[in-house]
Amino acid sequence: MSRRQHAVRKHESKLKVAAKFGWFAKGSLYVTLGVLATMAAFGAGGSVEGGKGILEWVATKPFGQAMLAFAALGFTGYSLWRFTQAAVNPQPDDAHTLKRIGWALSGIAHASLAFAAMQLLLGGGSKGKRMWVDQALQESWGPILIGALGVFVIGVGLYQFKKAYELRFMSDIDSGQTSPEERTALRTVGRIGLAGRGVVFPVIGYFLIKAAMNASPSQAKGVGGALHTIAEAGWIWLALVAIGMLAYGILNLAYARYRTPDVA
């Protein structure tokens, strides 16, 4: 065992609790996002938002401050867990480098959500969603980095379909804590949720590549922007993807209950 792994082992129980809080916060955000987007697709109110837009929406609701505090705590814990995975690599295999890059990027994305929640708690708005792209594109290496990130995000999106088809996500569910009926339901929910992400991520990746090619940060889009683009193709497409986002949220809530985080 390496010195790094030994250090992580000392805090393993805390990191596992942090990951579970993170899954609950992530699941709650995606459920909210999915419900609002589904309502918008059917003309029943709602709205089409990304993660930070959902946090801004939460801030306006009763008990919004308490929910933002929980979100900040949950996303901070989730990002710490992902950064730990990237550093220690608890799942060594032939694709470990790509997995570790993905875990690190996930950590950055959720740390950004935690920061946005903290900003809203302190009475400020969340920072511009394209600020980091703008800063990167000002550097000589920026277009290459943003373009490569776009390709990687597209790959992650396509990988969601593979996970859904092969039911890889089910290996993360503790079969000892779930009934056969629950596992059947989770298989269906998980496949729908991962397919929804499989549609959204390539759209995000495409616009990152476009922003890099044109040196135009305004062309980069997050989840909310991707959903708006999908909505332009028709309400039925938005509805299908929104239901996928809702299902992915439910899967993460199930992770919070039935998944044991791998730490080291």
At 175 the pLDDT is 83
The pLDDT value given to residue 238: 97
Number of compact structural domains in the chain: 1
Q: For residues 67-85, give the mean pLDDT.
A: 95
Q: What is the mean pLDDT of residues 32-55?
A: 95
Report the first-to-last Cα separation within the chain, whole angstroms.
Answer: 10
Residue 193 inside a domain? The answer is yes
Reported as a pLDDT band with limits 50, 70 and 90, residue 256 is very high
In a domain, 90, yes or no: yes
Q: What is the mean pLDDT of residues 117-146?
A: 83
Q: What is the rounded average pLDDT of the residues 34-42? A: 97
Top mean-pLDDT range of 99-103, 174-178, 189-193: 189-193
For residues 107 and 86, the answer to whether their CB atoms sit within 8 Å is yes
Q: Residues 127-147: what's their mean pLDDT?
A: 83
Name the residue with higher pLDDT: 125 or 197. 197
Instruction: Give the tokens for residue 167.
Output: 């039911």
Answer whether residue 263 is part of any domain.
no
Q: Is residue 264 part of a domain?
A: no
44-72: average pLDDT: 93
Mean pLDDT of the chain: 90
217 pLDDT more than 60: yes
Q: What tokens appear for 131 in the block?
A: 């600020």
Q: Read off φ and ψ for residue 173, nearest 5 degrees.
A: -85, 130
| Dihedral sign (CA 132, 137, 142, 146) | positive
103: in domain: yes
pLDDT of residue 110: 95
Amino acid at 100: R
Instruction: Give the pLDDT confidence score for residue 40 in this predicted structure.
Output: 96
- Predicted confidence at residue 88, as pLDDT, reads 84
**What residues make up the domain containing 231?**
3-258
Contact 186, 250 (CB under 8 A): no
Q: What angle (nearest 5°) sits at the alpha carbon of residue 73, between those of residues 183 and 21?
A: 15
Residue 107 lies in a domain: yes
Please check whether residue 98 lies inside any domain of the structure: yes
Q: How far apart are CA 65 and CA 223, in angstroms?
A: 23
Alpha helix segments (H runs only) across 89-234: 96-121, 131-137, 142-166, 180-214, 223-232
For residue 74, being part of any structural domain is answered with yes
